[in-house]
Structure 1
Amino acid sequence: MRKRNKINVGIVGLQFGGQFAPIYKLHPNIGEVAICDTNKQLLQNYGDKFNFERRYSSLDDLLEEDDIDAIHLVTSIHSHATQSIQVLNSGKHCACTVPMATTIEELNAIVAAQQTSGKNYMMMETAVYTHQYLYAQEAYKHGELGAIQFLRGAHYQDMENWPPYWKGLPPMHYSTHAIAPLLSISDAKAVKVHAFGSGTMREELQQQYGNPYPIETAIFQLDRKCLSAEVTRSLFETARSYMESFNIYGKKASLEWHLENEPLVRFEMENKIEGRGRVSTYSKVVTENRSETLPSEISHFMTKQEHLDEDNPHLSVLQGGAHHGSHPHLVHEFVSSIIENRLPKIDAVTAANWTAAGICAHDSAMQGGKEITIPTFNK
């Protein structure tokens, strides 16, 4: 008999999801953890190595288990919509890696399934739980930045030789890592977008999605008065090492983070006026991982990665602490929202807004920068 303050969860997709399963296993509000992967050899090896007894080779089989309360999907991008709807319609809570979907129709369908089922949906967006972002959030909350004047985000990543479905993917279809911090900290929605594609790709990369651009850049008008944001995303044939970044420019202070292994940089406006302009002070900020906000049972995952497969390390771990310490925070928020019977912070409507911004940006780029109105989603 399960205690009322514990739930059982299933992890679907072990290639990357294997990083989350051990965190769930030690969370104080988790009873059992089931693992699922269509690769039966990977399923067996992972289960044996990390001692997971409940193993499934299909999502359908896992959803038939009445005692599983929630599913965390860590699967390929173009299966997210179908699988999320399937999970919600089965009467189980759903967490899903980014992006939520790749079409506006799919976003509407997931929001509808969540509202009809009454179960929680959470998009597991790492970018708003990194220790760099959590520092920025606290600084803004306490008035240290003043009014936000402008926002900028970027995400550079070369996807050459990744699984076939990535080949030629429109850059803005996978842009939430750059968009989410900007919309989250400003508590805003993107309402209009102008975007442009840039660069060229070899013909074979253009065939799958009809996308000719390795890079796309967008300017978003937000629903907060006099505020806009700029986002750039690259996926192919661009000589730049991996980078996620956000820049927040305020009247009193500004923050920039755009080097993976470097501290966040803070600029502050001095009161003294000299000559034709004021001088900003410049400092580097070593941000804390905020492990004190987590249950003690999982706080060590902020620094230790003993659960990783040494033969197949994911890039997010090479960056440091698994997407900069975000994974334990994501797990804790998803589990806590279910236990506390509330919506998660990145609920279905929020996730749909963040994802729709990128989908509409690509549509604009394909039409030479035409203004596109971004749809709204209501709670």
Structure 2
Amino acid sequence: MTQQPIRLAIVGGNRGSRFYDLLAWIADRIRLAAICDVDDRILSNWKEQYPSIQTYQNYEQLLQNPDIDAVFLASPMLLHARQSIDALKAGKHVLSEVIAAHTVEEAWELVETVEQTGLVYMMAENYCFSRTSLMIRHMAEQGLFGEITYMEGGYIHDLRALVHQPDGSLNWRGQLHHTYNGMNYPTHSLGPLAGWIAVNKQGGDQLESISTYVSNSRALRKYFHEQFGGNHPAAQDGYWKQGDCAVTAVRTRGGVLITLRVDWTSVRPHNMRHYALQGTAGAYLSARHDQEGDLIWLRDRSPIADDGADKWESLERYRPEYDHPLWKQWAHHASLSGHGGGDFLVMEEFASAITEQRSPAIDVYDAVTWSSIFPLSMESVAAGGKPLAIPDFARNRGKQEGRG
């Protein structure tokens, strides 16, 4: 019997517009059925591209449509948990942009709803699917780094121009910086690292505790003063609660130390991905900018200098041997999609999980564990960097995987 395409609704048409071409590539697996957005102009633009789709400005009305099988939540971050829960209860599979939930209470509710409904929930953490992230994971799984002892991840990206509307009013990113103070966007930094040590997976590790510190808030006040004048509220001292740079230390049950850095308001060139890994038999350093390449050192394989010192070498040397199977299979489409190929592989994995009736690569337990860094970091900062335990959201994972 031929499998019918999954009928998908995109919620949040602005971010979703990046998937125009991608949806055409996988039309045999996923068919776009509807778009939901509060902006008439965005809905009109989608209608021009896909005349047959239905459009909604009301999310609740969309969920009442029985001809929609799944929703892709590309809506503002703080809406994700509630919209996911409502969609699951309405019988829809869910692909959610990051982060999955911004409170511990909603994280637990999301887990319970997935367990109760048995539907597919996946978080669209595209950084986990970049070619290099998958390759390092593939090498780690084969033990090339030995026992991993330390990792670091950073999301360092000047997004000051994306925190406001043209008139200077704040959008969701701006409201985030105005309201919260902590590790406010953790999963781009943490997601790939969690995959390298198989967090929440059988035989893998588990995140145990965090401690977070945040710098002073300086960049946005200066930016708004320059762009909108000294009388703008956002140019006033004390307006921005979020500091420019947040650093979180995470310790795993297995004793791995992880440091995370998020900074998307400081003035500097873009640094989309910053990662490092240290093991007992090898190490990895990501490129810091476009003029550099990724570096790796493997004991007994990497070259030795004339003076006997160990030498870094290009990661590219090992790509033919250790490129991840997903990239070998989907290299053409992935290389043409956004976020280093992650956008395509996220959508492909979501479709496969539904059609194969299995848990996705980034399931609800991964999603809420990584996302819980957001609320826990806020609490840690408020308590002067106090270490806090990370809940074991995956305690029922085995029972859930045994269903169906």
TM-score by length of 1: 0.85
User: Quick check: 1:229 aligned with 2:245?
Assistant: no
1:146-185 superposed matches below 5 A:
146-162=146-162, 163=164, 164-167=171-174, 168=177, 169-185=180-196
8 Å Cα contact 1:25/1:32 also seen in 2: no
User: Which residue number corresponds to residue 226 of structure 2?
Assistant: none
Deviations 1:300-319, CA, capped at 9 Å, x for gaps: 43344xxxxxxxxxxxxxxx
How many Å separate the matches in 2 of 1:356 and 1:31? 32
Q: Tell whether 2:50 aligns with 1:77.
A: no
Post-superposition Cα deviations, 1:159-197, rounded to whole Å, max 9, x if no partner, equal 323242212154512111001111121113321112211
Q: Among 313, 323, 333, which residue is 1:301 paired with? A: 333
Structure number having the greater helix percentage = 2
Paired residue secondary structure (1:364): helix
**Separation of aligned partners in 2, 1:114 and 1:237:** 38
Determine the C-alpha separation between the residues in 1 that align with 2:105 and 2:97.
18
Question: What amino acid maps onto 2:76 in structure 1?
Answer: S
For 1:154 and 1:206, the matched residues in 2 are separated by: 29
CA distance in 2 between partners of 1:52 and 1:22 (Å): 17
Q: What is the distance in 1 between the residues matched to 2:253 and 2:269?
A: 32
Partner Cα separation in structure 1 for residue 35 and residue 61 of structure 2:
11
Match of 1:47?
47
Distance 1:140 1:52 in 2: 46
Residues 109 and 278 of structure 1: is their aligned pair in 2 closer, same or farther, counting only changes over 3 Å?
farther
Contact persistence 1:6–1:339 (CA under 8 A):
no
Q: Does the 8 Å CA contact 1:111/1:348 hold for their aligned counterparts?
A: yes
Match of 1:369 among 385, 393, 400: 385
Instruction: State the AA in 2 paired with 1:61.
Output: Q
In structure 1, how many angstroms separate the alpha carbons of the residues matched to 2:238 and 2:62? 31
C-alpha deviation, 1:268, in angstroms = 2.5
Instruction: Give CA deviations for 1:298-353 in whole Å, capped at 9, x if unaligned.
Output: x643344xxxxxxxxxxxxxxxx411111111001111111111111111111111
Q: Aligned pair in 2 of structure 1 residues 186, 206: CA closer, same or farther (>3 Å)?
A: farther
Asked whether the equivalents of residues 181 and 214 of structure 2 are also in contact (C-alpha less than 8 Å), the reply is no
Q: Distance in 1 between matches of 2:67 and 2:132?
A: 37
Mapped pair 1:265 → 2:295: yes
Deviations 1:113-170 (A, max 9, x none): 1112221111100111001101101111222221112111111122323242212154
Distance 1:23-1:212 versus aligned 2 partners, 3 A rule = closer
Supply the distance in 2 between the matched residues of 1:121 and 1:260 (Cα, whole angstroms). Answer: 34
Amino acid across the alignment from 2:259: E
Residues 86-134 of structure 1 deviation map (CA, whole Å, 9 limit, x = unaligned): 1111011001000012111111111111112221111100111001101
1:12 aligns with 2:23: no
What stretches of structure 2 of length at least 5 have no aligned partner? 165-170, 200-205, 222-232, 398-404
One-letter amino acid of the structure 2 residue matched with residue 268 of structure 1: L
Structure 1, unmatched stretches of 5+, are 305-320
In terms of fraction of residues, the more strand-rich structure is: 1
**How many equivalent pairs are there?**
356
> Counterparts of 2:52 and 2:187 in 1: how far apart (Å)?
32
- Structure 2 residue 302 is matched with structure 1 residue 285: no
Matches of 1:129 and 1:209, distance apart in 2: 37
Distance 1:22 1:33 in 2: 15
Aligned-partner residue type, residue 375 of structure 2 = I
Structure 2 residue aligned with 1:316 = none
Does the aligned pair in 2 maintain the 1:301–1:328 contact within 8 Å? yes
CA deviations 1:227-248 (Å, max 9, x no partner) are 1111111132343434322111
Distance 2:349 2:259 in 1: 28
Q: Hey, what does 1:344 align to over in structure 2?
A: 360
Structure 1: 4+ residue segments shifted above 4 A: 205-210, 287-291
Identity among equivalent pairs (%): 23
